[in-house]
Structure 1
């Protein structure tokens, strides 16, 4: 699948919100849905999704949807005229919670950049049960109960968030709570909410004051925040520390000697080797199991390259062994803003890898602070 387009997964719970208009306080369960239909309820989830996606019609050439058959997605996308592929077909005439979970698995196997799902808190719980920890999601509110923080404030707001991503605007990331209440107790006038976990969502961009201030002092504070985040994340990982001043600042905070224009090998806050060649680095990397290594690299200011400029030691075979999911990309928001919406660039020397790795990528911009930026191969 081409990564020159934003790949968006779409799952619709067609029964979401069904019980709201008929005062059933929810739509969880087949029995509740049957009661809702008997009382004259009409499905509205697809209408809510149309409100969100209509805003994206001017960008149709820039989006590839991956969805489910029928009312779980394909019907709505057909009505709106979007290109899409089907990755999952429900098991029966009526979709279930199990269908949602299986659909999440199927869509994630298609390397989606963002999973949009329409429903309420019950749908969010179903998505959470199957979602990968680092998969970006966003809920389109269509249910009766919307306590979870993973939903946009309105369907149109969800569309606006996707629009921002397409236009290359910085989108902050945050982990938001998945909440739900006991519907039976709620029907009896008692609210008992429970937190089930967190999912990763795009959020409104909020600048920390240090970045807004500009100047040497604020840059130092931001770099210290980025260093604190990397240090906190590091467990028993082996670290491949790339070149550049941002990575150098992290090494300085660790109290380690750094090769400014080279690549260093670090473990347990100890430098095991400085200024490695490609062969030397490959020997060390290939001796470790996948997932035990993290690659810390930064963005070349003004250009936007993250690979292929000043760090050619990071060859395609090394990158494949480490894996895209094990990159810790670091940069200040000021450096990213200077790109004026242009994508980050990858030029590893392997066109297939460059295409495979293109797409949205998280950039660590401070302590517990990340933004979402597009990574693109060089044609």
Structure 2
């Protein structure tokens, strides 16, 4: 029996620059957010249904939007655990279930001893809730539907989560201990990073289908990174136009050198004219970026260390709608050598056509003088 726990509101804060959804779902909706987790769970189940092993899987899940609804939709066999009745409430024109972290923990507790693997849909907060109950007693696997997803327990996409599950059932996936990490979202929204490890989990791993944990910049690369930030800032100042500047410490160095009050953990929009830099939008949402998408903007981003993601982890403001009209050559990628040492970068926006546009090889600036060709997968 396989456990399935769905956090149906996970990820809603991503496109609207809230860096997470914990405690701010109403604000996310007011900014225009819609639920994203249900559709990503459907991608997982649709992919899983293509494997012959799907006929033999019996799921243990929660009621309604906690898992039951999606399994019923795709015709999977399942048993629903007894839990409180889930109610819906309306915020503006969006109906959302009144689910909570307590529901996740209660379902995980009930699944102990009854499942050989617990698959959950959410982000780092959901991973933290699951591991707080199961520890290393039962393997877990995350379907990435949240905003941050810096823990090493997530498949690289919902579709690949289905493949990892099948490999696990075939006995082809090995179990590894992986860290579950989370960032305090209130501090995160104030551009402060307060991260901690909440435990370790057993995770089924097959080839490169499960991401690693987010890594920090190595100390010995600090000086090189500062020199790289200087070089990129100088090049931006010398080339007029609109720039979307991504998130992270590497980009914050560049923003500081441009002389703008940019965010550490958000996306900022700047305009360069005749060597002068003007901050147009600080901490931009997807909607903000779309206002400038037809002005041939350049996007400056870095790679999430460990997870190896360019888009799809912590920067969902760069949505398919934003990226669709931006050519690959308008992408400026900067990273320390350690972040691209594996020779590849991942991208997952949820839109296959957009993802395919950026796949292939891309130039990554790893020093003021050196570019490295890295494969985007």
State TM-score, norm by structure 1: 0.50
Larger radius of gyration: 1
State TM-score, norm by structure 2: 0.50
